[in-house]
Amino acid sequence: MGSFARLAAGNVEPVRSIYGTITKLTRVAHGVTYDPGRDEILGSEPLASSIVAFKGGSSGQVPPIRVIQGPKTQLHQPWGLAVDDVHHELVVGDYASSNILVYPWDANGDVAPIRIIGGLKTRMRGISGVAVDPERNLIIAVTSQSRSPGAEAGVYGATFHTDVEPGGIFIFDRLANGDVPPKAFIGGPDTGILGAKQVQVWHDRIFTTVSNTPYTPPYDLAGYAPRKGCTGPPVPILTVGNPNDFVGVWKITDNGDVPPEFVIHGPNTGMASPTGIAIDPQDGEVFITDGSVGGTFSFLVPQAF
């Protein structure tokens, strides 16, 4: 994990970095979030089925102050993370199980979630990002796909025996628990979403990265063997200005096939595959990480807020 100055630009070194085996970080942390209430940095580790937490000023080869891991956690491939400083909760989106798991914000060890949103009625498949709105008591999740009506659950609720639909933005009551339908779903042709990656919420706006370039992992869910017919890693060829992917902004009151109010896309952005997202409403900036380019982009877009 690297931390950079807000106004950093170009090929610059991080101000601080957390690295090494003692950190319990693997080669990928799909979700990284900062908790201002406790001055902590949290990362999701899908390869280790864990969540790790560090003090905000940590640097170097330092051990995490907390690790959530074990069979009671029901973590399989955690991706999205969000901290609710008002209600002292940690919200996790699990890609493999397609569940939203809620823990106390200071959870540590092999601990069970206090609430789980998951099942066929939720229609979620492949949760990649989550956000929480404590003002309106909402949890927002974004997915790479959604379940077709009548789909049948497979292992961990993650594989299905019927066709699936494009993903989208799912909005639930914050205190929802179990197999419940969302309060609202933003998805459909006019939204431009086939698969969404990460999400942030500020006041009445939902900011999300949309990645519509198809990608099928070369290994099965357990990671032990190649998928049937796989001849190698199916890495898509992504170019700067990829027309399939963009950053979109919706109202939190939207529901249905609603186009975004605001978009960031096109060759002038320099992005190829926008994935991670962070927002700075005070300065009117949106930060995007792009794994294909191997960089972080900052956009000054006060009109989006």
- Residues 90-114 have pLDDT tens digits of 999 999 999 999 999 999 999 999 9
Taking Cα atoms as reference points, which of 258, 261, 291, 257 lies closest to residue 274?
A: 291
Question: What is 71-304's CATH topology?
Answer: Neuraminidase (2.120.10)
Taking Cα atoms as reference points, which of 99, 34, 91, 39 lies closest to residue 68?
A: 91
Question: Mean pLDDT in the chain?
Answer: 87
Contacts of 92 (CB under 8 A, 6+ apart): 31, 44, 51, 75, 78, 80, 81, 100, 101, 102, 103, 113, 130
Range with the lowest mean pLDDT among 19-28, 74-83, 132-141, 284-293? 19-28
Tens of pLDDT, residue by residue over 72-96, are 999 999 999 999 999 999 999 999 9
The token pair at 124 is 């979620």
- 122-148 mean pLDDT: 92
Look at residue 156 and tell me whether its pLDDT is greater than 50: no
Q: What is the pLDDT of residue 181?
A: 96
DSSP secondary structure, 103-158, as one string: EETT--BS---SEEE-SGGG-EEEEEEEEEETTTTEEEEEEEEEEPTT--B-GGG-
- 200-227 mean pLDDT: 76
What are the backbone dihedrals phi and psi of residue 144, each rounded to the nearest 5 degrees, phi first?
Answer: -80, -25
Each domain of the chain, given as residue ranges in start order, spans 71-304
Taking Cα atoms as reference points, which of 125, 103, 88, 301 lies closest to residue 207?
A: 301
Half-sphere exposure of residue 103: CA atoms within 13 angstroms, side-chain side: 27
Q: Assign residue 241 a region (left: φ > 0; alpha: ψ between -120 and 50; beta: otherwise).
A: left
The token pair at 94 is 């699990």
Tens of pLDDT, residue by residue over 20-65, are 888 888 877 788 999 998 999 999 998 899 999 999 888 888 899 9
Residue that the structure tokens 């609720």 belong to: 157
Torsion of CA 35, 40, 43, 44, to 10 degrees: -60
Look at residue 161 and tell me whether its pLDDT is greater than 50: no
Terminal Cα-to-Cα distance of the chain (whole angstroms): 28
Look at residue 215 and tell me whether its pLDDT is greater than 70: no
Task: Please state, for a pLDDT cut of 90, what percent of the chain lies above it.
Answer: 62
Look at residue 222 and tell me whether its pLDDT is greater than 70: no
Look at residue 283 and tell me whether its pLDDT is greater than 80: yes
pTM above 0.85, yes or no: yes
Other beta carbons within 10 angstroms of residue 295's beta carbon come to 14
Distance between CA atoms of residues 137 and 12, nearest Å: 39
Tens of pLDDT, residue by residue over 168-189, are 999 999 999 999 999 999 999 9
Tens of pLDDT, residue by residue over 238-255, are 667 677 889 999 999 999
Distance between CA atoms of residues 213 and 242, nearest Å: 9
Chain center to CA of 81: 7
Contact 93, 102 (CB under 8 A): no
Q: What is the pLDDT of residue 154?
A: 45
- 138-165 mean pLDDT: 65
- 118-130 mean pLDDT: 94
- 268-297 mean pLDDT: 91
